[in-house]
Amino acid sequence: MLDNSPPDRNLALDLVRVTEAAALASTQWVGRGQKESADGAAVNAMRSVLDVVSMDGTVIIGEGEKDNAPMLFNGEHVGDGAGPKVDIAVDPIEGTTPTAMGRGGAMSVIAVAGNGSMFFPGPIVYMDKLATGPEGVGAVSLDLSPRENVIELAKARRCQTSEITVAILDRPRHQELIEEVRSAGARISLIGDGDVAAAILTALPSSNVDMLLGVGGSPEAVIAAAGLQCIDGAIQARLWPRDEEERQKALDAGYDLTAILHTSDLVNSQDCFFAATGITNSELLRGVRTRRGEAITHSIVMRSRSKTVRTIEAVHRVEKLRNFHLMA
CA-CA-CA-CA dihedral for 146, 149, 151, 152, to nearest 10: 170
Give Rg (Cα) of the chain.
19
Domain 11-116+271-323 indexed as CATH 3.30.465.10: no
Phi, psi of 61 (to 5 degrees): -120, 105
172 annotated among ligand-binding-site residues:
yes
* Model confidence at 83: pLDDT above 80: yes
- Whether residue 255 is annotated as binding a ligand: the answer is no
Q: Is 147 exposed, middle or buried, given 0-12, 13-18 or 19+ CB atoms closer than 10 A?
A: middle
pLDDT band at 65 (very low <50, low <70, confident <90, very high): very low
Please give the Cα distance from 4 to 263 (Å, whole number): 16
Query: Mean pLDDT throughout 114-119?
Result: 96
Which of helix, strand or coil describes residue 31? coil
Is position 84 annotated in a ligand binding site?
Answer: no
Integer Cα distance of 104 and 197 in angstroms = 12
pLDDT tens digit sequence for 177-233? 999 999 999 999 999 988 999 999 999 999 999 999 999 999 999 999 999 999 999
Q: Does the pLDDT at position 26 exceed 80?
A: yes
User: What ranges do the domains of the chain cover?
Assistant: 11-116+271-323, 126-266
What is the predicted pLDDT for the residue at 327? 62
**95 annotated ligand binder:** yes
* Confidence bin at 279 (pLDDT 50/70/90): very high
Same-fold call for 11-116+271-323 versus 126-266? no
94 annotated binding-site participant: yes
Query: What DSSP assignment string belongs to 86-121?
Result: EEEEEEEEE-HHHHHHT-S--EEEEEEEETT-B---
96 is known to lie in a ligand binding site: yes
286 marked among binding-site residues: no
Q: Say whether 152 counts as a known binding-site residue.
A: no
Nearest to 38 by CA among 29, 47, 49: 29
Q: Is the pLDDT of residue 133 over 80?
A: yes
End-to-end CA distance of the chain: 45
Q: What are phi and psi of 87, to 5 degrees?
A: -95, 145
Thinking of the domain 126-266, which architecture would CATH place it in? 3-Layer(aba) Sandwich (3.40)
What is the residue-wise DSSP string for 276-297?
A: EEESS--SS-PPPEEETTEEEE
In this prediction, residues 268-285 reach a mean pLDDT of 96
